[in-house]
Structure 1
Amino acid sequence: MRSDNKKSVVVGIFVLIGIIILVGGILTLGAQQKVFVRSYKLKAVFDDVGGLQPGNNVWFSGVKIGTVTKINFYGDSQVEIEMNVDAETKDFIRKDSKATISSDGLIGNKIIVILGGTTQAPPIENGDRLKSVMPLDTDKMMETLQENNKNLVSITNDLKALTSKISKGEGIVGAVLTDSVLADNFRNIVANLEQTSNHTSQMSAELNQFSSNLDKEGTLLHELTNDTTIYSSFKKTAQELEETSGNASSAAENFKDASAQLTSKDNALGMLLNDREFAQYLKGTMDNMEEGSENLNENLEALQYHWLFRGAFRRKAKAEKKAAEEEKE
């Protein structure tokens, strides 16, 4: 009898412990699923839930406030999410709040994240549908990362080949890094550039000093910029030069007209210069005049020996001889 009672007590204790564990598990699960907490329903529609399941958590500002209760198809190809959310958060979630799908960690379970709205909007009510924000596609991100990894490997290989060629002295960069003659030439070029820079700085300083001296009182530039009399004189000179230039232009035009007339035969000078027949006629006339003057000279010489004019020529010769002697005295 005592052994039977003992067995009954032990069995009762184990049953009680099991009941306590069961109740504790139910309470724990209920607390996690917000079963025993006052809540209200919210909805959101997504194009793709990305593996979200009923029972996944709902978060707001980093705090778990509810769970996903249902996932239903909506419209042609969308999905509607129903959530139970703790009633205590009702005053903090606004009607312009948004819902998005995220992950609990890098590769954890999917969760719903509610993004807070503005204080100008009224608080959310039971059964309201939040605006949805499509999350980043993890698969596309992984594809992009894979593509970037391939590009990085290609760039690394190119850099490896490039550095290998440089170390071997190939190409311009390799030659510059490995050839001592080119290095010395480069140093000389840098030294020459530095010397040129110094000369340029010195020249700039000298030009600055020269320009400052130009505007000192007593210099030509100072007088030109400050003396109105010199300005008036320059202005008058410029006007006279302009007038002279106009006269020169007029004279050039007149000379051009005169030269044009010289090429024409309708005037005496043009006829002398351009008419060949008239030129031949003038030449014949000159020849006849020359021949006539020679004949006249011969006739005058013959007259000296004629008895009628012989005395006169002798008196003339004596007078010329006497005048010559007086000039010598």
Structure 2
Amino acid sequence: MRGENKRSVIVGIFVFLGIAILVAGVLTLGGQQKKFVKAIHLKAVFDDIGGLQTGNNIWFSGVKIGTVRKINFYGDSQVEIEMNVEKSVAEFIRKDSKATISSDGLIGNKIIVIYGGTTLAPPVEDGDRLEAVMPLDTDKMMETLQENNKNLVDITNDLKLLTGKLANGEGIVGAVMTDSVLADNFRSILNNLNRASINSNKMLTDLTKFSSKLNAEGSLFNDLATDTTMVTDLKATLESFRSSANNTEALTAKLNEISAKLDDPNNSLGLLLNDPEFAQTLKRTLENTDSATYNLNRGLEALEYTWPFRKGFKRKAKAEEEGN
């Protein structure tokens, strides 16, 4: 009898432990799945859920707040996700928040991440639908990376070929890198460019100094640029020059007219200047007049010694001496 009672007690203990373990497991699993907390239902529609399953977690600001309740097809080819979200955190999720699909780690299970939202929008309510944002497609990312790797290999091969040609002295750059004469010439060109740059800087400095002197108060350029009185005087001077130019032009026209008249043989001066026969006649007349004048002077000198005029000349000479 005692043995049977002992056996019954041991069996009862094991049964109790089994039931306790089962209840603990149920409670633990229910706690992880948020089965025993008050929740609201939110929805989001995605074009592709990328392997998301019922029971996957929902995160908000790095905190697990619920699980995927149900997955339904929606529309033509979209998928609607129903989510159980703890009611206690609903006040922090706004109606303009967004939902996207991510991964729990690099290769972990799919999760839904709720993010964003502004305080201008009210908190979500049961049955609200959040805006869905499609995540980056990892398959497309891998295809892009693979394509980039191929491009990188091609670039590496091209660089290897290019460096080989440079090392062999092919092309202009290779010749410059391997030919010492070309390198010296290139260095000389760079030195000349450097000197030209220095000279240009010096010229700019001199121009700056020159412009500062021109802009200094009291200089002619500054007075011309700032003194309105001088500008008026300059305008008056230019007007005077213009008037003088007009007068000179008129005088030139008159001189041209006079010159034309002098060249005309139909008037006296034109005849005198342009007729060679008249010039020869005038020249002979002047020569004859000079000869007659000379002979007259000789005659007057001889007249002094003739007896009828001798006394008169003597009295004139005596009067001149007394006057002196």
TM-score, normalised with respect to structure 2: 0.67
Instruction: Tell me whether 62-71 or 78-87 shows the greater mean CA deviation.
Output: 78-87
Secondary structure (helix, strand or coil) at the match of 2:36 reads coil
Q: Which residue of 2 aligns with 1:245?
A: 245
| Cα pair 1:92 1:116 within 8 Å, conserved | no
Secondary structure (helix, strand or coil) at the match of 2:130 reads strand
Q: Which residue of 2 aligns with 1:126?
A: 126
Q: Which residue of 1 aligns with 2:177?
A: 177
Shift of 1:81: 1.0
| Cα pair 1:48 1:78 within 8 Å, conserved | yes
Aligned counterparts of 1:218 and 1:30: Cα–Cα separation in 2: 96
Aligned counterparts of 2:90 and 2:225: Cα–Cα separation in 1: 84
| Cα pair 1:97 1:131 within 8 Å, conserved | yes
1:167-204 CA-partner distances (Å, limit 9, x unpaired): 22212221222221122122222333333344444455
Amino acid at match of 1:172: I
| Cα pair 1:93 1:117 within 8 Å, conserved | yes
1:197-239 CA-partner distances (Å, limit 9, x unpaired): 4444445555556666678899876887899998777555533
1:57-82 CA-partner distances (Å, limit 9, x unpaired): 11111111111111111222221111
Residues 224 and 116 of structure 1: CA distance in aligned 2, closer, same or farther (over 3 Å)? closer
Residues 153 and 3 of structure 1: CA distance in aligned 2, closer, same or farther (over 3 Å)? farther
| Cα pair 1:33 1:55 within 8 Å, conserved | yes
Please say if 1:191 is aligned against 2:191. Answer: yes
Secondary structure (helix, strand or coil) at the match of 2:68 reads strand
Q: Which residue of 1 aligns with 2:272?
A: none
Aligned counterparts of 1:197 and 1:178: Cα–Cα separation in 2: 28
1:291-315 CA-partner distances (Å, limit 9, x unpaired): xx9xxxxxxxxxxxxxxxxxxxxxx
Shift of 1:156: 1.9
Q: Which residue of 1 aligns with 2:30?
A: 30
Q: Which residue of 1 aligns with 2:305?
A: none
Residues 254 and 69 of structure 1: CA distance in aligned 2, closer, same or farther (over 3 Å)? farther
Shift of 1:122: 2.4
Residues 249 and 51 of structure 1: CA distance in aligned 2, closer, same or farther (over 3 Å)? farther
Secondary structure (helix, strand or coil) at the match of 1:152 reads helix
Give the percent of matched residue pairs that are identical in Structure 1 and Structure 2: 63
Shift of 1:322: 9.6
Instruction: Tell me whether 192-201 or 68-77 shows the greater mean CA deviation.
Output: 192-201
Residues 250 and 154 of structure 1: CA distance in aligned 2, closer, same or farther (over 3 Å)? farther
| Cα pair 1:176 1:182 within 8 Å, conserved | yes
1:98-141 CA-partner distances (Å, limit 9, x unpaired): 22111112222111111242223222222222222222222222
Residues 16 and 190 of structure 1: CA distance in aligned 2, closer, same or farther (over 3 Å)? same
Q: Which residue of 1 aligns with 2:59?
A: 59
Aligned counterparts of 1:255 and 1:53: Cα–Cα separation in 2: 116
Q: How many residues align?
A: 280
Amino acid at match of 1:55: G
Aligned counterparts of 1:231 and 1:41: Cα–Cα separation in 2: 87
Aligned counterparts of 1:67 and 1:227: Cα–Cα separation in 2: 86
Instruction: Tell me whether 248-257 or 180-189 shows the greater mean CA deviation.
Output: 248-257
Q: Which residue of 2 aligns with 1:113?
A: 113
Residues 140 and 212 of structure 1: CA distance in aligned 2, closer, same or farther (over 3 Å)? closer
Q: Which residue of 2 aligns with 1:165?
A: 165
Q: Which residue of 1 aligns with 2:46?
A: 46
List alignment gaps of at least 5 residues for structure 1.
262-268, 270-285, 294-315
Aligned counterparts of 2:134 and 2:222: Cα–Cα separation in 1: 77
Aligned counterparts of 1:67 and 1:206: Cα–Cα separation in 2: 78
Secondary structure (helix, strand or coil) at the match of 2:93 reads coil
1:236-289 CA-partner distances (Å, limit 9, x unpaired): 55334323433565678899999xx9xxxxxxx7xxxxxxxxxxxxxxxx9xx9
Aligned counterparts of 1:111 and 1:6: Cα–Cα separation in 2: 52
Root mean square deviation, CA, Å: 4.6
Amino acid at match of 1:181: V
